[in-house]
Structure 1
Amino acid sequence: MRKLTCLLLLLLPIQLLAQQFDAVKALVKRRAPWLSNHIVFEPLKNTSSEIVELQTIKNKLVIHASGANAAAVGINWYLKYYCHRSISHMGDNMSPVFPIPNVNKKVTVQAAAKYRYALNYCTYNYTMSFYSWPDWERELDWMALNGVNTMLTVEGMEAVWQNTLRKIGYTENEINSFIVGPAYTAWWLMGNIEGWGGPMPQSQIDNRKLIQQKMMKRMQELGIQPVLQGFYGMVPSSLKNKSKAHIIDQGTWGAFKRPDILDPTDPEFSRIAGIYYSEIQKLYGKNIHFFAGDPFHEGGKTEGVDLKKAGTAIQASMQNYYPASTWVLQGWQDNPKQAMLDGLDKSKVLVQELFGEFTNNWEKRKAYDNTPFIWCSVNNFGERPGVYGKLQRFADEVYRARKSTYSNYLKGVGIMPEGINNNPPDYDLMLELGWRQEHVDTRSWIDKYALYRYGKSNGHASNAWQGFLQTIYQSLPGYQEGAGESIFCARPALKVKSISSWGTLTRNYDTVAFANAVKEFAKAAPALKNSATYKIDLINMVRQLLANKGTLTFNEMVTAYNSKNLQTFNAASAKFLHMIRLTDDLLNTDQYFRLNTYLKQAIDNGNTAEEKANNLKNELMQITYWGENVRTEDNLHEYAYKEWAGLMDSYYLPRWESYFDYLRSNLQGKNVQEPDYFSWERKWVDDNQKLNPEKPQRPLLEVVDEILSM
């Protein structure tokens, strides 16, 4: 018996080492079942870095890895660069490959970054507001395959806040007026808004809590550290009516009343922070090592606060309940404020160089005063459509930071898009930089990308992607928040500088060269007609081309109106409206680009009639006027606009038609009032909280040919 016990004890470490790959094996069965019986996982022992080795041995792909996350990266490397297969947020290319390719010579992939970070608060709403568990399971699989090992995880923070507020004497109605609706949690957690889009039904709060628990369990299995919301002093604006503590009124964020900030140096702060972290421990456990949270985000008021002492107090509460945890701060605008950094133990801080495609604050601020940081890109704002990404700058700046004076403080890379259902090469490349030591030349990389994106080599596709790299994906200097926008989605006016308040209509690339690249890409259709990813990309590129043409037609219309040429005005405005209808036809050829796809997701995410109804309203508000009803603070309309079939013809088309009717009446000498779009948009949301009737689909290549011949 004693011998058997000793034998079992000796075998236990081996068994545990084998089990560390069980989650990766399950991932392979979900995403590439044709591959699962051909892989053997083995642990790499005595390694101080994250590393994976690939080699074919006795007709099996043997993956030696330092852990589950590295093993998942090895799978993805093999899928992309040997099988020419990939998954993305814009379609998958994962058909079976047989026989599976051999890796004759051992391939080693080693992490070049300690942290590979993912997700912006905003991603949770512009993309993930209505994710079900299968959606999250797929998302986590994608994260693991791409080597993400640190991820913002704030799906279930409503339950934490609900329990905390109950403990400090809040009624259920008061709690409901603080927690926001499911499409607005990002700006609530960042301290920008409260209550909007709510109340969130209890059934939904409970379900989101359960999903967060499942997420965290799966993330642990896949080697991904969750980053939860820390307590940084945000409290309901009503707390100052209940407490004598020093509470700083934060005023407004645009049209929205902001939550207040409880002074972290006030004794009440540590009490409420203690309740908050205790509730996190009850719901999500003690195995949490990262917390996010940015006090005074985007214009918050700091008067009367000793920022140095405030930073010390916030960090102290975090450390009290989660010793050795790291506070993750956004490097955005003047955040994190230097005075607050001065009060922190910087060994337990990680700053995100949030908008790295345009900023170099890591350099200007001397590694944020010698604080560990990661280089990130935002790339997308509001999940707005548009093909865009400064690919070579990603590679250049990460490499430059690694070779800089501040290299000791550079701890990783990250993707921080406000929406992630766009521009797959941006996210693939950024996360690969976490596993590539060399200075990447994107001209070479993009050829390999096109190969694994579509599954086979094609000269037209390869040539087109080189053209895209020199136009829409080029790396010119200058500030720009996301892709150039589509005039079709503008609130009608004669002078339109941007569709969203902080966006741009400017095309800072050669639109003729881009048009030629799109035409070259379309020539690949006969060879790639069965590729789902090619179809999605063709639709997206042609959509972008048509939007570019739309700006020219809009300018023709404006010129005709200003010169009082009714005939030319009628022709140009009719052509413009036809382009919107044509955009709708194009987008209707794939469910990825249909409004109904996302409305159905919102409906299916609801477990009760109340949830379904509120989900629909949240979804439609966000993608149109965004929120609030204050005319003098109407800056967020179209911030999250979408070019989706069903939205183009039911929302943007009639809005432009009414405007053209108004302009036409002016040219005809009639005295008519300009349409009230502020009211019209809100009425449209109220009237359209339902699925649209499905339209017949035109053949994709027929629509493409019509657009390319314009």
Structure 2
Amino acid sequence: MPASLLKILVILLYACLFIPAACALEKGELDAAREVIARTVPELESSPGTLKLEALPRQNGHDVFETESSGGILTIRGSSGVALCRGFYDYLKTNNLGMVGWENKSIRWPERLPDTARHRVVSPVRHHYYLNAVTYGYTTPYWTWNRWEREIDWMALHGINLPLALAATEAIGSRVWRQLGLTRQEINEFYVGPAHLPWQRMGNIVNHDGTLSDAWHKDQVALQHKILNRMKSLGMQPVCPAFAGFVPAGLKRIYPDARLLKLGWGGWPEKNAAHLLSPSDPLFHAIGSMYMKEWQKEFGKNTYHLADSFNKMELPVSAGNTAARNEMLGRLGEQVYHSLSSVNPEAVWVMQGWMFGYQRNIWNADSLQALLSRVPDDKMLLLDLAADYNKHFWRNGMNWEVFKGFFNKPWVYSVVPNMGGKSGMTGPLEFYANGHLEALNSPLRGRLEGMGMAPEGVENNDVLYELITDAGWRGTRTDLTEWLDHYCTARYGACPPSMKQAWDLFRRTAYSGLRDHPRFNWQLRPGARNCTMDTSEDFLKGLSLFIHTPGLEQSPFFRQDVIEMTVHYLGIRMFQASRAALEALDEQDNARAAQCMDRFRKLALASDSLLEAHPTWRLERWIAFARQHGSTETEKDRYEENARRLVTVWGPPVDDYSARLWSGLIRDYYLPRWEHFMNCRIQGKAPDMASWEENWVRSRGVSRATVPRDIVRTCREAIRQAAPLPPALAASRPGIVIGNWTPEDMASGWKELSWPVSAEDLHRLHGIRFIYTSGKHALDIKRVEVIGDGKVLAADAHAGRTGVPSSRAVYRLSVPDGSRANNGCIIRAMVKSADGLDSRGKVELILRN
């Protein structure tokens, strides 16, 4: 072969090999990735030649990265900005050089990098999804760009390329409503306070806890521009908002013939009910396309757009009319898609699939197929949101099997590792490590195109997020023991024997399974006795072993995690003390009740003081985020009130859903709320807890507190002092007591009383028992109900009495299979004291084995 021809062939081969790489990775992505890495390891800025970033082509549309180091130079190749960042983070953790959290990091960058062999990773899927629609309420509603920048860095390092980006949803919506002629008042009555916006977007509520000003909209538009620009610079494909069909009730004034379907959610008052524009009304497409035009005018074209019309909602059509239901669903799917595609033919409709497992009574294969039937397969992406709940909580089969691979629609496998931003240690580690392999290897996997997670709140349980994001880049089984050893070494610098023992105990206790809503009883309205946190002796032993692990005191992550674990340990002792105090009240032993509460108070204040040193678990930080958005003191106060409400009472009937272990929240809310309740009971008064809670929500600021100087030493000392209650104070009944009644609760006639119940106990609930403990008068009962999400799930209406003598004081409550109470569960009873008000007793759950 002539040399000239050979030279031409070499040039052509070179072009074939490298032109696709250049096309797959723009120079801007290289620069953006380098900036993320520099912010992660500032030491690299002083020696820029030690890091090389190069392009790689994708493999079958999937991201790829390679890492290797030689002669003190680290080379990372990747098919996108995200792949480069993920490659760097993989190198960092694999070589025990550090770890990056949300507000904390530990980097141990050496003066000279060790030589390492080339390491190549191909993602098993196209998409790595992140965030939940309600994360924009429980976590991000008041974030500024400074916090968002760190979050996007975190996403890139953890390999996220399909994140939700929902800021400014209402700014665009308000432009549309004004164009249609709605008044300011009509628009205000449609929207809610910033922290509650996710539930307004999904049609759950309207007109709750505040309005949105023009200044708010301007701020959010500017923020969304920065978020989208940064995400796209790294090669991410953000999921942005679309029109889901919810409209202000005032639309009827302008269009009297508009067909509005009234919705309801969880027993909320009439004024909070949303309206869905009927998909058969021509206005649906007109408004939907107006929204997309306004959005694109502001932000430019985007591919993926989220619209959720029935998340946790009943369908506005007769349950028995299958044909009408399917026609309505088919028409809705068609209209949502057309409102997108008529403006942007490349747009893909994204929909969350929480209800597919949560509401199987509505969403079966027939109804879901109807919804999807008129949308082109390549123009929709389903988020199978909660595979962990299907497997470990609902136990109702995996959605991709029930729905036959989602009828050829692309879909994303996802888990929900957190509800409401709760701080409790929980999660099925083994499932999070390897559960996705069941989907990848299933013959019914259909068009599985992504892995991800949809936490309602972040900045908690770091181990879960590291594990899930690692697993999403692996198509093979993870050895969890080995992974935990590497996790601890990367996070703290070492994994001593006591830490290994601690994690062995955690894997058998708190991290052995899924606890839907992990909360201590003292995080619920006082009087509650049930606790959904792990309180076992093995868990306590594991916490103590971890806290007392020597040699890691200089690690910022060790100090952070020691705080969290100490607060869990003290929280269990607080649970034991509060339960014993309630029993003492039942027995009219006020002195013992006061002693128990004194113990409770000391533990609470010790926990709160430790949390002052935590980087994120602080009420003061949450309130500061909210207040900085206000331009006047009045506006700042309004935002603070909205932020305080979300993490406490929320709004009926989702009280105490968020359950955060935060400084400021313990000393200013949980502790004084319980003390108010107990003091009223000891004094023979009926505590008005609703008024107390509302007054706190409307208050301002956080009380002052001190931060311990030596945090690890203080934690260890707190564990030493947190001994179990002495036998003279400890509760004597181990049964599941959910509440009590006292003379202060009684009235001359029939009265309704209620007590909170854990949703986790629903599937085992057999009934309740009224147990008289003291007083001159018996208690009469005539009806008992289980209320979940505002609905009566079961009832028993016979006449009963407990006292002397007792008769028929057990009420059988058969809760139908599949019943849910994700947003609150109570036992409600109609009672009266017989012949007087002097009656005291307990209400106890009867559970099936």
The answer to whether TM tops 0.5 is yes
Contact 1:112 1:433 in 2 (8 A): no
Contact 2:190 2:247 in 1 (8 A): no
Of 29, 35, 38, 2:44 maps to: 35
Aligned to 1:658: 676
Amino acid at match of 2:432: F
- 1:100 and 1:473 map into 2 onto residues whose CA distance is 38
Aligned to 2:196: 184
Q: Specify whether residues 555 and 91 from structure 1 end up closer, same or farther in structure 2 by C-alpha distance, changes over 3 A only.
A: same
TM-fit CA distance, 1:265: 2.1
Amino acid at match of 1:114: R
1:77-476 equivalences under 5 Å are: 77-89=90-102, 91-94=104-107, 96-243=108-255, 244-255=257-268, 257-286=272-301, 288-303=302-317, 306-334=328-356, 337-338=367-368, 339-359=370-390, 360-475=398-513
TM-fit CA distance, 1:588: 2.5
Aligned to 1:602: 626
Aligned to 2:544: 519
Worse overlay, 295-304 or 639-648: 295-304
TM-fit CA distance, 1:691: 4.3
Worse overlay, 217-226 or 335-344: 335-344
Q: Secondary structure at the match of 1:357?
A: helix
- 2:669 and 2:28 map into 1 onto residues whose CA distance is 52
- Percent identical among aligned pairs is 29
Alignment pair present for 1:574 and 2:574: no
- 1:599 and 1:123 map into 2 onto residues whose CA distance is 17
TM-fit CA distance, 1:255: 2.3
Aligned to 1:501: none
- 1:597 and 1:295 map into 2 onto residues whose CA distance is 33
Q: Specify whether residues 691 and 46 from structure 1 end up closer, same or farther in structure 2 by C-alpha distance, changes over 3 A only.
A: closer
Contact 2:96 2:486 in 1 (8 A): no
TM-fit CA distance, 1:591: 4.6
Q: Specify whether residues 283 and 258 from structure 1 end up closer, same or farther in structure 2 by C-alpha distance, changes over 3 A only.
A: farther
1:482-631 equivalences under 5 Å are: 482=517, 484-493=518-527, 495-497=528-530, 505-507=531-533, 511-524=536-549, 526-627=550-651
Alignment pair present for 1:639 and 2:657: yes
Alignment pair present for 1:25 and 2:34: yes
TM-fit CA distance, 1:51: 0.7
TM-fit CA distance, 1:81: 1.3
- 1:46 and 1:317 map into 2 onto residues whose CA distance is 32
Contact 1:232 1:264 in 2 (8 A): no
- 1:314 and 1:605 map into 2 onto residues whose CA distance is 33
- 2:615 and 2:54 map into 1 onto residues whose CA distance is 40
TM-superposition CA deviations, 1:663-710 (whole Å, max 9, x none): 323xxxxxx3311111111111222x2243343546432343233441
TM-fit CA distance, 1:567: 3.8
Q: Specify whether residues 14 and 623 from structure 1 end up closer, same or farther in structure 2 by C-alpha distance, changes over 3 A only.
A: closer
TM-superposition CA deviations, 1:293-322 (whole Å, max 9, x none): 111222244227621122112212212222
Worse overlay, 546-555 or 401-410: 546-555
- If the length of structure 1 is used for normalisation, what is the TM-score? 0.90
Contact 1:122 1:418 in 2 (8 A): yes
TM-fit CA distance, 1:220: 0.7
- If the length of structure 2 is used for normalisation, what is the TM-score? 0.75
Q: Secondary structure at the match of 2:628?
A: helix
State the Cα RMSD in Å.
2.4
Q: Specify whether residues 609 and 103 from structure 1 end up closer, same or farther in structure 2 by C-alpha distance, changes over 3 A only.
A: farther
TM-fit CA distance, 1:589: 3.3
The runs of 5 or more residues in structure 1 that have no matched partner are 1-9, 498-504, 628-633, 666-671
Q: Specify whether residues 399 and 103 from structure 1 end up closer, same or farther in structure 2 by C-alpha distance, changes over 3 A only.
A: farther
Worse overlay, 239-248 or 159-168: 239-248
Q: Specify whether residues 143 and 191 from structure 1 end up closer, same or farther in structure 2 by C-alpha distance, changes over 3 A only.
A: same
Q: Specify whether residues 146 and 307 from structure 1 end up closer, same or farther in structure 2 by C-alpha distance, changes over 3 A only.
A: same
Amino acid at match of 1:661: N
Q: Secondary structure at the match of 1:194?
A: coil
Amino acid at match of 2:546: F
Tell me which structure has the larger Cα radius of gyration.
2
- 2:637 and 2:589 map into 1 onto residues whose CA distance is 47
Amino acid at match of 1:506: T
TM-superposition CA deviations, 1:377-419 (whole Å, max 9, x none): 1121111220111121123320111111123422221111110
Q: Which of the pair has the greater relative contact order for Cα pairs under 8 Å at 6+ separation?
A: 1
Aligned to 1:500: none
TM-fit CA distance, 1:45: 4.2
Contact 2:139 2:458 in 1 (8 A): yes
TM-superposition CA deviations, 1:601-633 (whole Å, max 9, x none): 222343444442222111111112113xxxxxx
Contact 1:84 1:456 in 2 (8 A): no
Amino acid at match of 1:394: Y
Of 69, 72, 76, 2:85 maps to: 72
Contact 1:379 1:481 in 2 (8 A): no
- 1:103 and 1:181 map into 2 onto residues whose CA distance is 54
Aligned to 2:765: none
Q: Specify whether residues 327 and 46 from structure 1 end up closer, same or farther in structure 2 by C-alpha distance, changes over 3 A only.
A: closer
Q: Specify whether residues 198 and 100 from structure 1 end up closer, same or farther in structure 2 by C-alpha distance, changes over 3 A only.
A: farther
Amino acid at match of 2:568: Q
Alignment size in residue pairs: 672
Amino acid at match of 1:387: M
Contact 1:204 1:611 in 2 (8 A): no
Q: Secondary structure at the match of 2:98?
A: coil
Q: Secondary structure at the match of 1:34?
A: helix
TM-superposition CA deviations, 1:342-390 (whole Å, max 9, x none): 3332332222221211212222222233432222111211112201111
Q: Secondary structure at the match of 1:219?
A: helix
Q: Specify whether residues 640 and 281 from structure 1 end up closer, same or farther in structure 2 by C-alpha distance, changes over 3 A only.
A: same
TM-fit CA distance, 1:109: 1.4
Q: Specify whether residues 84 and 457 from structure 1 end up closer, same or farther in structure 2 by C-alpha distance, changes over 3 A only.
A: farther
Amino acid at match of 1:615: Y
Q: Secondary structure at the match of 1:528?
A: coil
- 1:567 and 1:548 map into 2 onto residues whose CA distance is 22
Worse overlay, 82-91 or 207-216: 82-91
Q: Specify whether residues 651 and 104 from structure 1 end up closer, same or farther in structure 2 by C-alpha distance, changes over 3 A only.
A: closer
TM-fit CA distance, 1:76: 0.7
- 1:424 and 1:673 map into 2 onto residues whose CA distance is 44
Worse overlay, 220-229 or 357-366: 357-366
Q: Secondary structure at the match of 1:383?
A: coil
Task: Compare the two structures and name the one with the higher helix fraction.
Answer: 1
Contact 1:90 1:422 in 2 (8 A): no
1:686-697 equivalences under 5 Å are: 686-687=698-699, 689-695=700-706, 697=708
TM-fit CA distance, 1:103: 4.2
- 2:619 and 2:262 map into 1 onto residues whose CA distance is 39
Contact 1:554 1:576 in 2 (8 A): yes
TM-superposition CA deviations, 1:551-606 (whole Å, max 9, x none): 22233223333333344333223222322222222223335332212222222343
